[in-house]
């Protein structure tokens, strides 16, 4: 199953990844692959493990079991050499850009810091960073400001410049449009698409905003209580979801066009505690189609088509 889900040109692979915090298992035996130059969306309710997975991918959260392969190299060992190698290939855009920027450093020093750590700060590299600042629509006057003096959109662009300073191949973006006005969201998404074309970047985008996911991603992976329940091409999943949870998420998504609105699906019950997830299918306590088999047997990800997999005994 895992081999079937992996793109032959896959640059990032997750194999049975488990992330634990004490007794809490935030990510549970998750396997997934990201193709080179692809944009993968990661969606699901708050607390399902999306951010934990994002941090594990860039080495900020240790992996309890399994492994993450980047360009075929196992990054989950965590030694200093691999961390340095990893930071030059994959970077994280944090959900709160202002909080991710040190309040004690000016924008200039914030952008120079990663280059200084890697002993790569030269007049030439700094000139390239200054050009990138301008190309991303920021004024060079911002270089002397501090994070609290930046707007939300400016802080996100500064974070993006800092990440790109390492010349990574992969950007993991955690809620990249959160807290931004619609016009600023559009500008940022256009900018990310432009950078992807110019630099050949691969994106993993974590978001609650299904309209954003539907616009910018090639594939979508849906998470529930630390596991992938459905993954496939974005257009197919949005048009023909196979998992009842995915269908409920899409039905709850605000849509302006009345002709495209879906019948609202109301999930029964409360979201189970991740400290004590249900046996069998983790969604069976809220699923309208749950049967006795769902309470006993955990479903595996199975293909509905070559590029669409779902973990459900009774898919739509």
- Asked if the structure places residue 128 within a domain, the reply is no
Task: Name the pLDDT band for 93 (thresholds 50, 70, 90).
Answer: very high
- Residue 215, in any domain of the structure: yes
Please answer whether residues 88 and 31 qualify as being in contact, where contact means their C-beta atoms are separated by less than 8 angstroms: no
The CATH number linked to 66 is: 3.40.50.300
Whether the pTM exceeds 0.85: the reply is yes
In a domain, 175, yes or no: yes
CA–CA separation, 268 and 255 (whole Å): 23
Give tens-digit pLDDT for 188-215: 899 999 999 999 999 999 998 898 999 9
- 79 confidence band (pLDDT: 50, 70, 90): low
What per-residue confidence (pLDDT) applies to 195? 92
182-199 vs 152-164: helix axis angle to the nearest 10? Answer: 10
Of 250, 213, 243, residue with least CA distance to 228: 243
Question: Which residue spans within the chain are E strands per DSSP?
Answer: 10-21, 24-35, 39-43, 65-70, 73-74, 90-93, 170-174, 202-206, 219-224, 227-233, 302-305, 308-310
Q: Which domain holds residue 55?
A: 2-89+168-310
DSSP state of 136: T
pLDDT tier for residue 235 given thresholds of 50, 70 and 90: very high
If 0-12 CB within 10 Å is exposed, 13-18 middle and 19+ buried, where does residue 126 land? middle
Q: What's the token pair of residue 281?
A: 């299918």
CA atoms of 161 and 133, how far apart (whole Å): 7
Q: Which residues contact 300 (CB under 8 A, 6 or more apart)?
A: 1, 311
What pLDDT digit, counting tens, does each position of 8-51 carry?
A: 458 999 999 999 999 999 999 999 999 999 999 999 998 899 99
Structure tokens of 11? 């640059």
How many other C-beta atoms can be found within 10 angstroms of the C-beta atom of residue 239? Answer: 9
Buried residues in 285-304 as b, exposed as e (16+ CB within 10 A): bbbeebeeebeeeebebeeb
**Number of domains within the chain:** 1
- Mean pLDDT of the 169-195 span: 89
Mean pLDDT, residues 108-114 taken together: 93
Does a structural domain hold residue 143? no
Consecutive H or E run containing 211: helix 210-216
pLDDT at 7 over 70: no
Measured CA to CA in angstroms, residue 217 lies from 43, 132, 197, 237 at distances of 11, 24, 14, 12
Q: Looking at the domain assignment, is residue 190 inside a domain?
A: yes
Q: What is the mean pLDDT of residues 208-226?
A: 94
Give the residue carrying structure tokens 């197919």: 236
Q: Please report whether residue 116 resides in a domain.
A: no
Positive or negative: CA dihedral 13, 83, 52, 43: negative
Q: Are strands 73-74 and 308-310 parallel, antiparallel or unpaired?
A: unpaired
Average pLDDT score over the chain? 89
Beta-carbon count within 10 A of 108 CB: 17
DSSP letters of 181-201?
-HHHHHHHHHHHHHHHHHH--
Domain-located, residue 255: yes
Rounded average pLDDT over 77-89: 73
> Looking at the domain assignment, is residue 124 inside a domain?
no
């Amino acid at each position: 199953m895992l081999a079937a889900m992996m793109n032959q040109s896959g640059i990032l692979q997750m194999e049975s990844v488990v992330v634990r915090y004490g007794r809490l298992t935030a990510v549970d035996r998750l396997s997934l692959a990201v193709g080179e130059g692809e944009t993968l969306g990661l969606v699901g309710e708050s607390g399902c493990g999306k951010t934990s997975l994002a941090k594990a991918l860039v080495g900020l959260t240790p992996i309890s079991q399994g492994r993450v392969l980047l360009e075929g190299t196992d990054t989950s060992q965590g030694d200093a050499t691999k961390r340095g190698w990893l930071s030059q290939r994959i970077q994280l855009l944090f959900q709160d850009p202002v909080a991710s920027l040190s309040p004690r450093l000016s924008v200039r020093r914030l952008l120079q810091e990663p280059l200084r750590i890697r002993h790569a700060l030269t007049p030439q590299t700094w000139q390239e960073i200054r050009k990138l600042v301008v190309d991303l629509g920021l004024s060079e006057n911002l270089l002397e400001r501090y994070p609290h003096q930046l707007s939300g959109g400016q802080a996100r662009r500064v974070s993006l410049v800092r990440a790109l300073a390492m010349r990574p191949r992969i950007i993991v973006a955690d809620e990249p449009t959160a807290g931004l006005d619609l016009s600023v969201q559009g500008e940022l998404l256009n900018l990310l698409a432009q950078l992807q074309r110019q630099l050949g970047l691969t994106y993993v985008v974590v978001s609650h905003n299904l309209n954003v996911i539907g616009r910018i991603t090639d594939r979508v992976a849906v998470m529930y209580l630390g596991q992938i329940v459905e993954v496939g091409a974005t257009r197919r999943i949005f048009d023909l979801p196979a998992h009842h949870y995915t269908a409920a998420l899409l039905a709850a998504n605000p849509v302006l066009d009345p002709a495209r609105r879906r019948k609202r699906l109301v999930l029964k019950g409360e979201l189970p505690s991740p400290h004590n997830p249900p046996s069998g299918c983790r969604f069976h306590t809220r699923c309208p189609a749950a049967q006795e088999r769902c309470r006993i047997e955990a479903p595996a990800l199975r293909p509905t088509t070559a590029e669409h997999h779902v973990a459900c005994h009774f898919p739509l």
